[in-house]
Structure 1
Amino acid sequence: MAKLWQKENQTTDAKIEKFTIGNDPVYDLQLARYDVLGSLAHITMLEKVGLLGADELGPLCAELKAIYAQIEAGDFTIEDGMEDVHSQIEYLLTQKLGDQGKKIHAGRSRNDQVLVDLKLFMRAEIQHIADAVERLFDLLIAKSEAHKNDLLPGYTHLQIAMPSSFGLWFGAYAESLVEDIELLEAAFRLANKNPLGSGAGYGSSFPLDRKYTTELLGFESPHVNVVNAQLSRGKTELYVLTAIAQIATTLSKLAMDVCLYNSQNFGFIELPSSLTTGSSIMPHKKNPDVAELLRGKANKLKALPNQLQLLTSNLPSGYHREFQLTKELLMPAIEEILDGLEITHYMVSHLKVKKDLLVDSKYDLLFSVEEVNKLVVQGVPFREAYQIVGKKIEDGAFDGSTREINHSHLGSIGNLGLAEIQDQKEIAWKRFGFEKVNKAIAALIS
């Protein structure tokens, strides 16, 4: 089949074609619905500026919406010999409408076509990620409230340090996710800019209305400079992968805590059988394989921003074929982080917190700081109080059996600040503006 770029009587060696196309048809299936949306906006604009007749717009829109329904039903395929999703959709249109179907490419290059597809794809997937993070956040806040009075040893350098609580532990990861979302929101801002109309990176002599397509697709604004629109290729993916890597960092640290806390030497939590596996030789083993695999998969995601940086390094302005390979980093990463968020939600939902951990005498020294602070309240200078308690510990005379804790400041054991964390979360989520995007897309395909 002829390619969109192919000249008459020109052929392509099969080996070269296989190398250059690579896995694009597989990943392009994920872009299909967005290619239709971009085409709907583009031809609606072409009719507005007089480059397409009103009698032509109706049939084209009807066929594109039929293809969209086919994609949503899971019945859309990219046929053998078809180079990419753009070729497949244009081919389907020409099969139905003849030369009319060929008119959808006027004023457009495959460069800005794939750019708008990717922007729309990333924008939609960011919403899915944000939804999954929100579900995990809500669970962590609920767990924090439920276990605010269940004390837990706090560690520095993996040495017992000061009293903590499960409320503090769950709440810490909830707030960490809010901070991760702020990075994801920055990625959304860049994904929510319209590159359509930039062509191959140098615009068009057609009187394209780029503000109109921006409105139709629900973008916040266009990439104003057409060269910069092309510069956003790779850059937008990097923003998204960096945000994914940061969420993965939070999940990895939580998974590591679960591995530690589930071990017999810590014994702070208990995992159900569904989250553990046994040993082929040791009948007592309940290995936290799910948490370990979560930790490993999250750590792999953390490497992706560096891979993308290396892939696109030293490239001058304009389009280069290396950008095709960014899909192979981006699309699996989105699937992995969504799976990771789902399994983390399941794990946190089902882990069992053990009560009364700090009654054990081995945790007496956790309360040494409380003793120092008591002396300070009585008027003893802090450094002197520190030395007094330190001498008692050294002499084996320290009594930490009282287990008194008087933490009342914001964000401490006695004042978790969950309402404040919830407020931060609400502010962060509102900044996305998903409602405007969803309303525009719904109008476009209605």
Structure 2
Amino acid sequence: MPTKTPARGKKSAAWSGRFGEPVSERVKRYTASVGFDTRLAREDIRGSLAHARMLRSAGILSASDFADIQRGLAAVLREIDDGTFHWSIDAEDVHLNIERRLTALVGEAGKRLHTARSRNDQVATDVRLWLRGELDGIVQLLRRLEQALVDAAEKHAGLIMPGFTHLQVAQPVTFGHHLLAYFEMFERDRQRLLDCRRRLNVLPLGAAALAGTTYPIRRERVAQELGFDAVAENSLDAVSDRDFAIEFSACAAMAMMHFSRLSEELVLWMSPRFGLVKLPDRFCTGSSIMPQKKNPDVPELARGKTGRVYGDLVALLTLMKGQPLAYNKDNQEDKEPLFDAVDTLRETLAVFVELVPGIEPQPARMRTAAAEGHATATDLADYLVKKGLAFREAHETVARAVRHAENSRRELAELSLAELRRFSRLIGKEVREVLTLAGSVAARRHTGGTAPAQVRAAARRARQRIGK
């Protein structure tokens, strides 16, 4: 039975010579990625120019063809930038759309651009280039967020607030000390991303489809031009690896988890039951029915979007778990979760860079809340230990004093000296200073402690770390 030869007009697929019938319209729509991978267009053109320059230096591409390719790709980029480029589902993806337009503009030279490469190593290169740029921008946003946290921590180094465990008042801390805890979290996020960048910044181009190429290519030259630290050592791994996308998404998920924790606290603290902070109106919304409402939408959404980024990470892990070497079409599905993780983290960072300086602590309410729940009970136990009592005995002694205070509906610090001495004759009149909120935070003068001087010192060290 004779084979039906497909039409070879300008809209035939790059691989159509092998097939006896055209792809159905439904399959075109199902398999096309041009609906979302066009955001790689600038990286695709940048990679193509570096590839063409390398082909020219290796004598694989003529000078005239190289000049035509340069001219044509510049024209394509202008069309993309001014919004006149026509994206076609018939060309499947960003790569073939650009190549087809290039060929329409410069003729045969455009058809020679794809020499010694495959879409497999081309897309892997594009995604790495794109993600590297996005990662660098996110790192800079993290620096700005950390700066905002440190600025606020210095400003409120001595502002006393309750510290919580199990969401119960535990010990007094300062608002500045609390903010620096988030600095530490986001600094770890920044360092993780910088470490992720090292493994991301490896060039796959030159691996071709999976086995490399017979042409005398110069991969190191391309790597240098595109700013990669090294070339991928194994062609099979180069085209099929998406660890870098998974690793970035894991970093993003962890950063969003930190945002979610901060957001949870802001939502709680802003409620009248806590009343520890206020947020500027520009970060809140109202109710369509309740005129009095001021809702903390930004932190609530950040808390919600955290699950979205977790989903992106799980999607990528699931995408890769069953793939044999080397490239598989499954990998087309890597982009949307990665794009979403990048966009969500970047936008969350951008809004919190503006939100953090606007947080308004409420000093009176913070001090009142810190004075509740016998927050200086541990200080009394430590006081007794310094008087010679074993800690376990001191713990039991203070626990009985707390029970007495609760039975009389008072705070531990409100008990008279005579009452306190009923539980231990070691207690003297100097205990009053021990039981104050200011005395409690000031007593923790070690590195990492709550003493205002230590908080300011920690903020100075944090500034130095941000600069590295």
Per the normalisation by structure 1, the TM-score is 0.90
1:136 is the counterpart of 2:145: yes
- Work out which of the residue numbers 411, 430, 434 in structure 1 matches 2:448: 411
Tell me what 2:44 maps to.
35
Tell me what 1:341 maps to.
349
1:265 is the counterpart of 2:273: yes
Alpha-carbon deviation of 1:55? 3.0
Tell me what 1:221 maps to.
230
Per the normalisation by structure 2, the TM-score is 0.86
Superposed CA offset, 1:25-81 (max 9, x none): 132221000011111111111111110112322232233233334434454442353
3-state SS, counterpart of residue 163 of structure 1: strand
Letter aligned with residue 387 of structure 1: E
Letter aligned with residue 413 of structure 1: T
In structure 2, how many angstroms separate the alpha carbons of the residues matched to 1:325 and 1:152?
Answer: 47
Matched residue count: 424
3-state SS, counterpart of residue 35 of structure 1: helix
In structure 2, how many angstroms separate the alpha carbons of the residues matched to 1:307 and 1:408?
Answer: 46
1:372 is the counterpart of 2:381: yes
Report the structure number with the largest CA radius of gyration: 2
1:78 is the counterpart of 2:87: yes
Superposed CA offset, 1:199-246 (max 9, x none): 0111011111111111111101011111111231x2221111111111
Alpha-carbon deviation of 1:103? 0.8
In structure 2, how many angstroms separate the alpha carbons of the residues matched to 1:29 and 1:313?
Answer: 26
Tell me what 1:440 maps to.
none
1:250 is the counterpart of 2:258: yes
Q: 1:343 to 1:179 in 2, by over 3 A?
A: same
Q: 1:75 to 1:185 in 2, by over 3 A?
A: farther
Could you tell me whether the CA contact under 8 Å between 2:246 and 2:317 is conserved in 1? yes
Tell me what 2:467 maps to.
426
Tell me what 1:119 maps to.
128
3-state SS, counterpart of residue 413 of structure 2: coil
Could you tell me whether the CA contact under 8 Å between 1:364 and 1:399 is conserved in 2? no
Tell me what 1:432 maps to.
none
1:91 is the counterpart of 2:100: yes
3-state SS, counterpart of residue 407 of structure 1: coil
3-state SS, counterpart of residue 81 of structure 1: helix
Alpha-carbon deviation of 1:384? 2.4
- Work out which of the residue numbers 7, 28, 34 in structure 2 matches 1:17: 28
Of residues 332-341 and 35-44 in structure 1, the stretch that sits farther from structure 2 once superposed is 332-341
Could you tell me whether the CA contact under 8 Å between 1:230 and 1:319 is conserved in 2? yes
Could you tell me whether the CA contact under 8 Å between 2:150 and 2:459 is conserved in 1? yes
Of residues 309-318 and 56-65 in structure 1, the stretch that sits farther from structure 2 once superposed is 56-65
3-state SS, counterpart of residue 173 of structure 2: strand
Letter aligned with residue 304 of structure 1: D
Of residues 156-165 and 59-68 in structure 1, the stretch that sits farther from structure 2 once superposed is 59-68
Could you tell me whether the CA contact under 8 Å between 1:162 and 1:367 is conserved in 2? yes
Tell me what 1:438 maps to.
none
Q: 1:37 to 1:207 in 2, by over 3 A?
A: same
Of residues 203-212 and 369-378 in structure 1, the stretch that sits farther from structure 2 once superposed is 369-378
Alpha-carbon deviation of 1:385? 2.1
Alpha-carbon deviation of 1:346? 2.6
Question: Share of identical aligned residues, percent?
Answer: 30
Q: 1:37 to 1:311 in 2, by over 3 A?
A: same
Letter aligned with residue 361 of structure 2: V
Alpha-carbon deviation of 1:274? 2.6
Tell me what 1:3 maps to.
13
Tell me what 1:190 maps to.
199
Alpha-carbon deviation of 1:94? 1.6
Q: For residues 138-153 of structure 1, what are the structure 2 equivalents within 5 Å?
A: 138-153=147-162
In structure 2, how many angstroms separate the alpha carbons of the residues matched to 1:322 and 1:369?
Answer: 57
Superposed CA offset, 1:271-323 (max 9, x none): 23333333344443322222111110122212321121112221111111110
Letter aligned with residue 342 of structure 1: A
Alpha-carbon deviation of 1:361? 8.0
Q: 1:360 to 1:330 in 2, by over 3 A?
A: closer
Could you tell me whether the CA contact under 8 Å between 2:141 and 2:349 is conserved in 1? yes
RMSD over aligned Cα atoms:
1.9
Tell me what 1:61 maps to.
70
Could you tell me whether the CA contact under 8 Å between 2:384 and 2:394 is conserved in 1? yes
Superposed CA offset, 1:135-173 (max 9, x none): 111111111111111111111111110112210121111
Of structures 1 and 2, the one with the larger relative CO (CA 8 A, separation 6+) is 1
In structure 1, how many angstroms separate the alpha carbons of the residues matched to 2:89 and 2:214?
Answer: 35
In structure 1, how many angstroms separate the alpha carbons of the residues matched to 2:370 and 2:349?
Answer: 37
Tell me what 2:185 maps to.
176
3-state SS, counterpart of residue 108 of structure 2: helix
